Amino acid sequence: MTSDNDRRRGLLARLRGRPAARSRGRRRLGAALRLIAALTLAGGAYTVFAPGVQAQENPPLTSAAAEGKALFDVSCVTCHGRNAQGVEGRGPSLIGVGAASVDFQVSTGRMPMARQEAQAMRKPPVFTADQVDQLAQYIQELGGGPEVPEGDLRRGADLATGGELFRINCSQCHAFGGGGGALSSGKFAPSLRPASDRQIYAAMLSGPQNMPVFGDNQITPEQKADIIAYIQETLKHDQDQGGFNLGRYGPSTEGLAIFLVGLVALVFASLWIAGKS
Ligand code: HEC
Ligand code: HEC
């Protein structure tokens, strides 16, 4: 009896359920098809009406940066790679180094580097000032980073403060007279004499090689102006007192040298006199 009832209930359920299930399935299929159609339509419409989708991943370069990219693709890709991401064992990535670094490296002729060397040397620049700006603009638009401000970089400078800041921050490597000096493992801090205002500013912002970065938090733009003015107006225009000097190592060094040379001369003189008699 119970089994009979069960069978009947099962049959009823199947009779009721089957068509219901079938129509639900059909409805689902229809919905899916409509969804796909809608998506295709929306996608198509998007591609038609938004031609910039491709460009959004690589934002378009300004014309100056595009000129810079053209120069870069000829002179720099071999070492710094396509899109400046760097080449293992040849040159570092330039993403995020900023216009300041390019400005410094290219305007001082360090880049393009001729060959692998311990330290890129200052050379007569390969590019004109406009081309340097274009290269810098390209790297800036690729990855951002510090930029040298426009305008007078010595405005309102105070020479005394500049001298103090120079002695605290720069003289341990570049020497008190700015003549430069040796660092460890064959590297050296160069003389500051050939550097322009812009190059000094860019060097502080980018910290080439072993030089630390002096960001605007450590040395404010006003203090940078003080330092630049001190280097350009005091160090470079220091009146030479005449006579021999030892590359401005300072009065003590020069006095010591004269003392030693004099002493040796006296010893030889007395030996010579003793030999004669
Ligand atoms: C022969 C290989 C070579 C070529 C060509 C070359 N570079 Fe470099 N570049 C290097 C190496 C190596 C360094 C790192 C050494 C150094 O800092 O002295 C470097 C460093 C730099 C830096 C400093 C990166 C930083 O961390 O601040 C900049 C900017 C730069 N190069 C730009 C350029 C540009 C622009 C060109 C093309 C005009 C160029 N380089 C061509 C090898 C090269
Ligand atoms: C730890 C040592 C060190 C200190 C401190 C240092 N520098 Fe340098 N500086 C260097 C080195 C090394 C170079 C060479 C980088 C290269 O050739 O890529 C350099 C290069 C420069 C140049 C480029 C010279 C040229 O060829 O035109 C300038 C300008 C400069 N430094 C300014 C400064 C100033 C200003 C300060 C202080 C605020 C300073 N440096 C502090 C090590 C130092």
Whole-Å CA distances, 207 to 151, 202, 215, 243, 276: 21, 8, 9, 36, 62
The verdict on the CB of residue 165 being under 6 Å from ligand 1 is no
Q: Is the pLDDT of residue 21 over 80?
A: no
Q: Looking at the CA of 224, name the nearest ligand.
A: 2
Whole-Å CA distances, 28 to 20, 23, 31, 107, 124: 12, 9, 5, 68, 74
Angle 130-197-167 from CA coordinates, rounded to 5°: 150
The verdict on the CB of residue 112 being under 6 Å from ligand 1 is yes
Q: What is the pLDDT of residues 52-81, one digit of tens each?
A: 444 445 678 999 999 999 999 999 999 999
* Amino acid 29: pLDDT: 76
CB 139, CB 99: distance < 8 Å: yes
Residue 236 pLDDT level (bands cut at 50, 70, 90)? confident
Which of 77, 105, 209 is the best mutation target for the ligand 1 pocket, counting ligand atoms within 8 Å of the beta carbon and taking the most?
A: 105
Q: Is the pLDDT of residue 50 over 90?
A: no
276 or 161, higher pLDDT: 161
239 or 209, higher pLDDT: 209
Q: What is the pLDDT of residues 120-167, one digit of tens each?
A: 889 999 999 999 999 999 999 999 999 999 999 999 999 999 999 999
Nearest Cα neighbor of 152 from 99, 205, 216, 224 is 224
Q: How far is the CA of 171 from the centre of ligand 1 (A)?
A: 26
